[in-house]
Each structure stands twice: as structure tokens, then as C-alpha cells.
Amino acid sequence: MSDPALDLALDLTGAEVLLPDGLAQVTLGVRDGMLAAPAPRHRPGRAIDLSGFRILPGIVDLHGDGFERHLAPRRGAMKNLGDGLMSVDAELAANGITTAVLAQFWSWEGGMRSPDFAQRFLTALDAAEGLLTDMRVQLRFESHLLSDYTDFEAAVDAHGVPYVVFNDHLPHAALEKGKKPPRLTGQALKSGRSPEAHLALLKELHGARDAVPEAVAGLAARLAAKGVRLGSHDDDTAETRAFWRARGLTISEFPETREAAEAAQAAGDPVVMGAPNVVRGGSHSGNVTASELVAEGLVDALASDYHYPAPKQAVLRMVEEGVCDLATGWALISARPAEVLGLSDRGTLEAGKRADLIVMAPDGRIGATLVGGRVSHMAGDVAARFMAA
């Protein structure tokens, strides 16, 4: 039985459409969930007048953990992850995100970052029905969890995880000096351990650091052979980037310094920066300013990180400040992240690609979001125009 949502034939007229080389006032056709030349003779489309609006490619979000607040609005309130994912779906759609990579930890840190929660999350996402946004998973694996390598790889296989990033959040400097790491008590409470037990675990993981490079290389090679994309998080030096690259981790997420970003770019490794960094005008932790890297051509993609409105906000801010034009900026949240993920069927508004698009008002509000030709969000004057047609 055919899907009525995909049987819709639409011709979106009157709007400025963001094509790969810039804005143009053209009619955009939607047929069977795909973008098409308008009004083919055999099947004319319902015309929707979107004069005064802009149509842009749907946002491809390479890394976001803003979903966490929907799954656990309070500590311990994690009973029905499926309902939480429906709420995530609505927020993504309202912010123009059509493809979302949900970044889930697999870490010693506990709580929502624990291996147990990661397994629950993966199972819930596999079982979720009715989601309109194309949600994908990135697992963020703590590299020093040597005892978890087998279970982690099994979870990647079982759930078809397409993207893995390696982290190292251990407070090595404090542990090396024999000092009490910062925020130890709070971390222990979140993990369900006593401060003493938590500190003992950190010391154990730190003590095994010499075995980590070989273990990472082996796991990365096995995952890469299965087609999993691999990256590292928070590269702080060129040497750090080289370390991860030598082990097959070719995507550099949120490098902390210009040196690390330059090293990645020089080697052809995609650089992903956080859109909130642009919106804030700089990093909240004193790292390199993302908009400066964009201006220097050192960024391949901007991601929502912890705030789903940020990708759109970041591009509009950069355009307003003259950092880049709209086509260049929007490509950082659409075409280029799609390329990083190997998704050649989306990211630009071209015939033959998925009808993943947003309709934006002059003030930047999202009036409509379509994912594969299905409406995932619609409101205000745009909704009225669709209904009138």
C-alpha cells in the first residue's frame, strides 16, 4: 500500500530557493518524496505560493546530544525512552533538522553516559515508530575502557551503528600527580559509585594507558572494515590529531586549537565545529573560535552540539557579520556534513535528491520542514498557504 504522504505532488512557487551556487527564484517540485523538475506533464503538482519565503536544504546535523533532556528531564526520570524520542523528533523538525546524528556516550562517567544506558538508548531507537526525522547514531567511546571493547563492538554490530568517535575524558594531569581530580564527588554520585570507588576506577583506567593505542588501532580497523565512520573528539594539538589519524580516525570533531584544525585540514581530515561556539561568539571553555576557523576555510561542518537551534542561528549570524555568504554558510550545515557522512542523496536542492527541505521566513523562523517529502513541522503563515492550496 502506498504512503499518502509520499504520493503528494507539490510545486513550491514564488520563493527564493538556495541552490548550490546561491539564491534563485525558481519553482521547486516535490514528487514521491524526491525533488523533481516542476509540473511534469503527466502529473501536475499542487502549487503552493511561498512568495516572501526562502526554501533551503534540510539541515544535516553531524553531532548533537540535545536529545538527552528529552530522555531524562530529571535525574532518574528515564522510564519511557520512546516517548522521549518523539519529543526529540518534534524539536529537531522545528529547528529545520532533517537528518540528525544523536551522539550517545559509552563511558565510565555513568548515568546517561554509561554503557547500560547506551544499550537502552540503542534498543529504544531501533524500536521507535513514527519518527519523521532521519535519526542516526554516533557512539562516543571512552578509549581507556579496555574491558568494554568486546561489548562495545558487539553493540555497534547489533544496532548497525554507522559512526563512532573516540573520547578520552580522564583527568590524566591530576591522576599523574596523585591529586584528587576536580568534580570527583559529583561525578561519583552521577555514576552511582562512592567517591572512593570512583577514584579507584579512574586510577585503574589511567594506569592502563600504555595499552590504549594498540587497542584503539585494533578496534578501529575492525570497525572500518565494516564501513563504520570513525573520528576523534577535542583534538588539542597537531600531534593528537596525528595520533588518531594513524589509527584510522579520520574525522576531527571540535578541535580545541587552530593548530589541531590546521593539521586535520592539511591531511584532508574533515573538521566539525560546534555551532553554539559561533552563536556565542567563542568557546565557553576558552577554545578556538569557530567562526574564525570558518573564515579561514578550516571547517567542513557545523553541528548542533548541545543546542538544536544553533546550526541555523550560527549561519545567519555569520552571514550578518560578513564571515561568509549564505550559500557557503548553509553548506556547512547541509551539503558538507552530508558528504562527511557519505549521504549523497541529500544536502542540496537538486532534482533526484530526497525532498529534505525547510521553508524559512525573513526573520529566520522555520515555517515548514519536509523530510523525504513528508511534513515533519509546519506552522504559521506557511501552514496557512499549504492549507489554502
Q: What are the tens digits of pLDDT across the range 43-66? A: 667 899 999 999 999 999 999 999
% the chain with pLDDT above 90: 85
Beta strands 374-378; 366-371: pairing state: antiparallel
pLDDT value at 80 more than 60: yes
pLDDT digits (tens, 9 = 90+) for 220-264: 999 999 999 999 999 999 999 999 999 999 999 999 999 999 999
In a domain, 255, yes or no: yes
Domain count, the chain: 2
In a domain, 166, yes or no: yes
In a domain, 198, yes or no: no
Give yes or no: residues 289 and 319 share one domain.
yes
More confident site: 6 or 377: 377
Report, as an integer, the average pLDDT of 101-128: 95
Give yes or no: residues 245 and 376 share one domain.
no
**CATH number of the domain bearing residue 28:** 2.30.40.10
Give yes or no: residues 156 and 210 share one domain.
yes
Report, as an integer, the average pLDDT of 168-176: 92
Give yes or no: residues 221 and 292 share one domain.
yes
Domain finish residue from 302, 323, 341: 341
Give yes or no: residues 231 and 276 share one domain.
yes
pLDDT value at 20 more than 70: yes
Beta strands 16-19; 22-25: pairing state: antiparallel
Give yes or no: residues 100 and 227 share one domain.
yes
Give yes or no: residues 231 and 256 share one domain.
yes
- The pLDDT value recorded for residue 37 is 74
**CATH number of the domain bearing residue 138:** 3.20.20.140
Q: Would you say 347 and 35 are in contact if contact means Cβ atoms under 8 Å apart? A: no
Question: Rounded to an integer, what distance in angstroms lies between the CA atom of residue 379 and that of residue 365?
Answer: 10
Least confident of 74-88, 140-154, 172-186: 74-88
- The pLDDT value recorded for residue 42 is 46
Q: Would you say 369 and 96 are in contact if contact means Cβ atoms under 8 Å apart? A: yes
Give yes or no: residues 122 and 265 share one domain.
yes
In a domain, 182, yes or no: no
Give yes or no: residues 29 and 69 share one domain.
no
In a domain, 183, yes or no: no
Give yes or no: residues 248 and 102 share one domain.
yes
pLDDT digits (tens, 9 = 90+) for 307-360: 999 999 999 999 999 999 999 999 999 999 999 999 999 999 999 999 999 999
Give yes or no: residues 12 and 151 share one domain.
no
In a domain, 240, yes or no: yes
In a domain, 91, yes or no: yes
- Look up residue 38 and give its DSSP letter: S
3-state secondary structure of 354: strand
Question: Rounded to an integer, what distance in angstroms lies between the CA atom of residue 143 and that of residue 106?
Answer: 10
Q: Which amino acid is present at 380?
A: G
Range of the domain at 258: 59-176+203-341
Residue of 256, 315, 260 whose CA lies nearest to 286: 256
C-alpha dist (Å) from residue 92 to 108, 120, 379, 384:
28, 21, 14, 21
- The pLDDT value recorded for residue 287 is 83
Backbone angles phi, psi at 368, to 5 degrees: -160, 150
Question: Rounded to an integer, what distance in angstroms lies between the CA atom of residue 338 and that of residue 348?
Answer: 9
Range list of H helices, the chain: 4-7, 68-71, 81-94, 115-127, 149-159, 172-176, 184-191, 195-207, 212-225, 238-246, 258-266, 275-280, 290-295, 310-320, 326-331, 335-341, 380-388
Give yes or no: residues 36 and 64 share one domain.
no
pLDDT value at 1 more than 70: no
